[in-house]
Chain A
């Protein structure tokens, strides 16, 4: 089976609320794809539609070319973590994995293998009701991996993890993608995916706002901006603004200039005798790129 997710023109309304408004994207194998957007943007609904849990009003979602409900042995095609808290409190983590294994005729050994991979250890034999949020996330990942699937759908897997857990999960996601799997990870925070995702799909109001490689996004957000270091911030701002540039204060002695090339900035400041100690092309963070995109999406008629 081709390890891809294809989502085409999904529309879904819950009463008056439009959850999905023509969402389309493709997830390809071998990399971590981030699905990013604010709460209510449609990330979780899209994932539920892909898994056949919610029925879209329009459009379709295919995994490896087939609707999820038509898959034989679905856990061996797609592993999902939707809600790590969805556990029966009286059941141990291992028994949770065991019933999942049994549903596909897999041996109990498989449960122990994923316990190992998710780093659950002896906690797997305790009742799930006593798990910390971090342990629940690890159990959810173990459950997603039970069928050793080529496609993974993880809804906000970083939630509840401490710094160590976040680092561990980033490593695991890169490793899983490196094995050739398609890994779709949703998050409300772009920063969580900064070093992990090779590709991001930014969604807002039920539709895709941007769908690009991380490098391209950063490039687009950085284009035409100049970072300037100067002890005379006020004078520099006045001079540049008079020349028609947009200037933003980014620190006590740093400014970001948009609308003027670097050579024109240095020439202008030299003429006006404004001191400065450095001019460089500005490199935006992924977070900035995201903020930019979601701001555009929030304005009617604007888009990317």
Chain B
């Protein structure tokens, strides 16, 4: 035996080995491989590149007869929102406060069916007729209205997006419905009554900055009949003409400026090349009875492009960050470097958390920069190509940008977790693509029934794409709310939370496996 020597003591002192050090170590690993840095930056650049390359193919032109002309921009309502504002309006001026009352005794209408059926009698569920106070007869001017609808009872609506339900049920000569709309300052209140004596409040609207002189009167509107194609036409929608005719009597208007002649306007009507109105509304009066016919919709506009359409680069960027996320850990398994990592940092959970923070952080930063550039650049290009752009507001745009960055970052973390779990790069990439990209592609390609698509977008990590939804769904607005059209079943951040849950699960399972077994 050799004589025992004085044991050596490490002269390296002052260091620590907590999470902050693990984070610093993993960050040093990431930034010291140039290929990884370039690739993550490239994923951000892809967001910009793809929209610049694909937005050019979205060219819209409008024409009147044979003459092409730039498409008109969307009608903008209060707050700069794009709106539909098409209805028949029979109105008088009102100075200051006032009240209008009417009795609706009948609603009928016509709906065009596919040839050879043609026009048939019928009232759309969301056809509406009743009373309105509107800042002016201009399209997009603020308004509040109380109305009877085809199948949704009495409603009070204002500001193009707000909708309050009153009593259900339709109208007939035997069971008419009385409506009343009263203005007091910038507050408008809607009432209903079965007999014109006992009144119930339906709702109240505050129209900020309503001028002293406004228009008050009767209106009617009927949204188009929407059919969604099946089979080979899956995802295609067709909207056919409908109109509603409401009979209203017992009209009473009180207030300064009222009492003169009724003015009538077919708000938002378009004209044929020969100058005749296309699908005109109308009014016929017989004594005190007003029969108003209207076509169109009063509500938010949902047909058109939004900032959502500038994020087409998300899927290619997703593939890139999934590869990087998986490689960030599987390359260590492939080369045996994981053993060096675990001798330096023997707590697998801490290592994985540090890795997830680093890869999530860098991908988030790249995604944020890319999306922040892609949205304005893409919107400008789409607009220059004649597309109708529906503004979504600065907050929603910020959510789209930050949410896309989060979608990319969490997908990279999911791929990292799968990489640590499966320890094979190819297997981890395939698994991550199958979990995130495949369900998204299936759900938005119009190959599955809508309910199947919706479940995919609720249950799989692809739910996070909900964060890219530009416009909300409105129950009172008839529209084909499909994944292919950019509408998702979950609220934006709930979708991100689903993906986050999957990522946390994958990382947690991997940490468990690493703690239990051999490296």
Binding site for B on A (CB under 8 A): 1-3, 28-31, 48, 51-55, 68-69, 71-78, 80, 82-83, 85-92, 95-96, 98-100, 102-106, 110, 143, 146-150, 179-182, 198-199, 213
Contact = CB atoms under 8 A, between A and B. Distances in A.
A98 B331 CA distance: 18
A144 B202 CA distance: 79
B21 interface: yes
Contacts of A74: 17, 343-344, 346
A129 to B, nearest CB: 10
10 contacts: A53-B339, A69-B346, A69-B347, A88-B33, A88-B331, A95-B29, A98-B32, A106-B14, A146-B12, A181-B8
A88 B337 contact: yes
A76 B8 contact: no
- Residue among A29, A99, A143 with max Cβ neighbours from chain B (10 Å): A99
A209 to B, nearest CB: 18
Contacts of A77: 10
B12 A143 contact: no
Interface string B1-18: 111111111111011110
Nearest to A89: B335
- Residue among B16, B20, B33, B343 with max Cβ neighbours from chain A (10 Å): B343
Using C-beta atoms within 8 Å of the partner chain, give the interface range for chain B: 35 or more
Contacts of A90: 33-36
B198 interface: no
Nearest to A12: B518
A3 B6 CA distance: 10
B282 to A, nearest CB: 75
A30 B4 contact: yes
B345 interface: yes
Interface in B224-242: none
Contact of A150 (B8, B25, B337): B8
Contact of B10 (A31, A149, A182): A149
Contacts of B517: 55
A100 B14 contact: no
Contacts of B337: 86-88
B28 A71 contact: no
Interface string B310-336: 000000000000000000000110011
Contacts of A198: 2
B33 A91 contact: yes
Contacts of A149: 10
Grouping DSSP codes into helix (H, G, I), strand (E, B) and loop, the A interface class, with mixed when no group exceeds half, is loop
B256 interface: no
Nearest to B516: A55
A22 to B, nearest CB: 19
B16 A105 contact: yes
- Residue among B3, B15, B24 with max Cβ neighbours from chain A (10 Å): B15
B11 A104 contact: no
Contact of B340 (A52, A89, A143, A199): A143
Contacts of B2: 28, 30-31, 198-199, 213
B342 interface: yes
Contact of A91 (B11, B16, B32): B32
Given A100-B344, A150-B8, A86 B16 contact: no
B21 A104 contact: yes
Nearest to A70: B346
Contact of A3 (B8, B33, B35, B340): B8
B216 interface: no
Which 6 A-B residue pairings sit nearest by Cβ, starting from the closest? A30-B5, A95-B32, A86-B336, A103-B25, A180-B8, A150-B8
Contacts of A3: 7-8
Contact of A86 (B7, B36, B339): B339
Contact of B335 (A76, A87, A100, A182): A87
A91 B29 contact: yes
A105 B17 contact: yes
A72 B518 CA distance: 21
Given A48-B339, A103-B22, A213-B2, A54 B29 contact: no
A2 B5 CA distance: 11
B335 A85 contact: yes
Given A75-B344, A99-B29, A198-B2, A148 B339 contact: no
A199 B4 CA distance: 13
Nearest to B517: A55
A218 to B, nearest CB: 15
Given A53-B339, A91-B33, A105 B21 contact: yes
A148 B10 contact: yes
Given A75-B343, A91-B33, A29 B335 contact: no
Given A103-B17, A182-B8, 8 more contacts: A69-B346, A72-B17, A74-B346, A86-B336, A87-B335, A95-B29, A102-B25, A104-B16
A78 B336 CA distance: 19
Given A30-B4, A95-B32, A98-B28, A53 B342 contact: yes
A150 B345 CA distance: 18
Contacts of A110: 12
A74 B17 CA distance: 9
Contacts of A99: 25-26, 28-29, 32
Contact of A54 (B22, B340, B518): B518
A147 B12 contact: yes
A150 B32 contact: no
B519 interface: yes
Nearest to A177: B5
- Residue among A75, A92, A199 with max Cβ neighbours from chain B (10 Å): A75
A160 to B, nearest CB: 15
A104 B344 contact: yes
Interface string B214-230: 00000000000000000
Nearest to B12: A148
Given A29-B8, A180-B6, A76 B346 contact: no
A180 B7 contact: yes
Given A53-B343, A143-B340, A102 B12 contact: no
A143 B15 CA distance: 16
Interface string B35-69: 11000000000000000000000000000000000
Nearest to A113: B12
Contacts of A30: 2-7
A179 B7 CA distance: 8
Given A3-B8, A29-B4, A150-B10, A102 B336 contact: no
Nearest to B21: A105
A26 to B, nearest CB: 11
Given A29-B4, A72-B17, A150-B7, A100 B25 contact: yes
A61 B390 CA distance: 68
Contacts of A87: 335, 337
